[in-house]
Homo-oligomer: A and B are copies of this chain.
Amino acid sequence: MSLIVQKFGGSSVANAERVMNVAKIVTDTYKQGNSVVVVVSAQGDTTDDLIEKAKEINTNPSKREMDMLLTSGEQISIALLAMAIEKLGYPVISLLGWQAGFLTNSVYSSARIKKIDSARLKTEIDNKKIVVVAGFQGLNSAEDMTTLGRGGSDTSAVAIAAALHADKCQIYTDVDGVYTADPRKVKNAVRLKEITYDEMLELATLGAQVLNNRSVEMAKKYNVEVEVISSLNPIPGTIVKESTKMEKMLIRGVTKDTDTSRISIVGLTDVPGVAFKIFSLLAAKNINVDIILQSVGRDNTKDIAFTVGTKDADEAVKACESLPFIGDAKIVRDDSVAKISVVGAGMETHPGTASTMFEALFNADINIQMISTSEIKISVLIDKKDADRAVSAVHEAFFNVD
């Protein structure tokens, strides 16, 4: 007797067989007496294939036409999933983003949801239909198609769950939950039963991309309980919610991010406001700066180092070069770094966390280049070639439950 929102990503609906598998999961949920709204992404590589088609014609198309092109992808998958559910003999209707009431702003390719007009959704649910909704898409005030950006289907699902006050929002994926580390690389990685929104946000930011970040922010804002669950392995997944029962385990996970670059400015003349000017320029260019290290150099100069996403590194270097006070300072970019982080809400009250982490890295003979801490995470920058070893060593230190 619950209202359940279920979301399936592109790989879950990549071919006819998988679409039938999703139809099975959905109708099983419906059969138990629940109302079900299903959000789906475009099939498999459809989005990439469409982008490829576009590039053959125009390498720099307008974002409006790109959104027009890409929204056809989910349209195909909702129709196919609805047909699969019809095949199993259940009442169903597919709805495009705009039919489901998704109103967005006009930032094509990464639109924000402004409102969900849920009248049609409610009518179809009242009519006992399983409702299949196209994720990732909406309509702006000009009545043009928009997309929410990559991973936007997670956000679509959470937004519907919030608008309908759903009892649960299940995000089906190809992993069976959130782990303390990448289970393909770290033996003894443990699946978490529960995790808070803030912890999940840190994990997402740090490269453990199980859930799209904006979806977690929205879940937090509207207090939507999200379950990360496997579409292939029907066991309970990980629940993401406001506060969790404090488990014995303090740390929620160990992650690595190898798409990071360090930029060092060495030998800056030490005048006031230098750091402020650098980082406000980078902010103006929408470049997110992560770890920052500032140190006094020789001869009344200072050195400033920081990390940015590798995709932004070129532009960050150019921005630094354009600074009027850069003088003879040397700008050095280094892509051979990785960021290793431990995340966990209880951390701030346990001062031993940092030292456990640093000791583990020391014992593994891994050099720490930079350190950054927040209330719920500690990140270190190390040599990229040591990244996997570092994750294993740190995970072992926290999770070795022998």
Contacts and interface: CB of A to CB of B under 8 A. Distances in A.
Given A68-B75, A86-B62, A80 B57 contact: yes
Given A68-B75, A76-B72, A79-B65, A53 B86 contact: no
Contact of A72 (B72, B93, B144): B72
B68 A78 contact: yes
Contact of A65 (B62, B94, B120): B94
Given A87-B58, A99-B144, A143-B99, A68 B82 contact: yes
A71 interface: yes
Closest 10 CB pairs of A and B: A69-B79, A61-B83, A16-B56, A58-B83, A72-B72, A68-B79, A58-B87, A72-B75, A65-B82, A57-B84
A66 B76 CA distance: 10
A229 interface: no
A116 interface: no
Contacts of A20: 57
A131 to B, nearest CB: 13
Contacts of A99: 143-144
Interface string A38-73: 000000000000100110111001101110110111
A390 interface: no
A397 to B, nearest CB: 49
A293 to B, nearest CB: 45
A83 B71 contact: no
A19 interface: yes
Contacts of A56: 16
Contacts of A82: 61-62, 65, 68
A141 to B, nearest CB: 13
Interface residues of A, number: 37
A283 B104 CA distance: 50
B80 A69 contact: yes
Nearest to A84: B57
B58 A79 contact: no
Nearest to A76: B72
17 contacts: A20-B57, A57-B84, A58-B83, A58-B84, A58-B86, A61-B83, A62-B86, A65-B79, A68-B78, A69-B79, A71-B75, A72-B73, A72-B76, A72-B79, A75-B75, A96-B145, A99-B144
A198 to B, nearest CB: 39
Contact of A86 (B50, B61, B73, B80): B61
A79 B108 CA distance: 14
A79 B66 CA distance: 7
Given A53-B16, A99-B143, A144-B99, A69 B58 contact: no
Contacts of A96: 68, 145
A87 B59 CA distance: 9
A191 to B, nearest CB: 32
A64 to B, nearest CB: 8
A217 B100 CA distance: 36
A386 B339 CA distance: 80
A80 B144 CA distance: 16
Contacts of A86: 58, 61-62, 65
Contact of A69 (B64, B68, B75, B120): B75
B76 A50 contact: yes
Interface in A9-28: 16, 19-20
Given A54-B80, A65-B83, A72-B76, 7 more contacts: A16-B56, A57-B80, A58-B86, A61-B86, A69-B79, A72-B75, A120-B143
